[in-house]
Chains A and B, each alone.
Chain A
Amino acid sequence: MKVRLRNPDREVELEGGRPVGAVLDELGVAVDTVLVIRAGELITRETPVHDEDELEIRPVISGGAG
């Protein structure tokens, strides 16, 4: 499963077959601090993801620009 992380932009390959929350745990990312986007839609931490999926994990925390 291809996972695109932002700020800084990078891409990692992770295993699917588990809920989004488990992927976030592996990455050390708190669930309330990111949007998880699959095929143009937001998905929640309980949504199962698969090896063929492509995810974007987009941080929502902003330090100052607003």
Chain B
Amino acid sequence: MLRVIAGLLTPREGRVALGDRTWLDTVAGVDLPPERRRVGYLFQEYALFPHLDVLANVRFGARNGGTVEQLLERFRIAHLARARIGELSGGERQRVALARALATDPGVLLLDEPLSALDAHTKAAVRLELHELLRDLALPTVLVTHDFEDAAALADRVGVVVDGRILQQGTAADLVAMPADPFVASFTGATILEGVARPGPSGLTEVVLDRGGTVWSTDPGAGRVVLAVYPWEVSLSRDLSGDSAVNHVRAPIVTLVPVGNRVRARVGPLVAEVTTASAERLGLAVGEVVVASFKATATRVLPL
């Protein structure tokens, strides 16, 4: 998709326009070459020119020299101006690539997996920086990622693309609240359980899971369905609690993984996310039997 916008790939049919400037219109026979479109393209592996130093890379497509100086300062790479690309760290390379892309004064920014080439350690910091940068630039930006967290952190609108088609688009919060299909639910982080649904008493839907057990949902549904539950909707306790949750699963803890200030526990078919403090208070450990509870309102029933 980014290559089509940039003009590096010509689709059989389609239209690409920025504002009132048409870049591609297969019906009207318009197809501007990449160098006449105004795109700032951040390639996945950055595609920096290895035979040029940092300064020459940034200057390659620059409109004027003053911008180059400012960009080097802004991306904190001025001290690396004479460095070869091979001498740079992953984070530095990305900053050089961004500076190079912005030096052309683009009308749109295309980011191809901007965080995937970085190690986990660098990633969180770069994500924050990138977020601030995108906010300051106020440029239309298309970002491609396989990581919903990246999309949620960086994008105003998220479109889930499968096999070249947009399955669903909306804000990250929309996608989580109302996943349109099992893939979107799983992509946004939900645990997916398959089962058969039928209307139950008091307006609830009863879903008999393939792997055993029954779950109640406030979503309507009938026949074969997928039930989506987000890990942060699942609470853990030692005993069957007297809370308002109607869904309980009693099972041993399979895995226990710390994620930042939370702990992600796999309990039977479910994944629960609880704070580190709660995990310590409950004395969670792999193999211990706990009760995972979640409310009927916290489940989404999606047709399969």
A binds B: no
Interface, chain A (partner B; CB < 8 A) = none
B contacts, CB < 8 Å to A: none
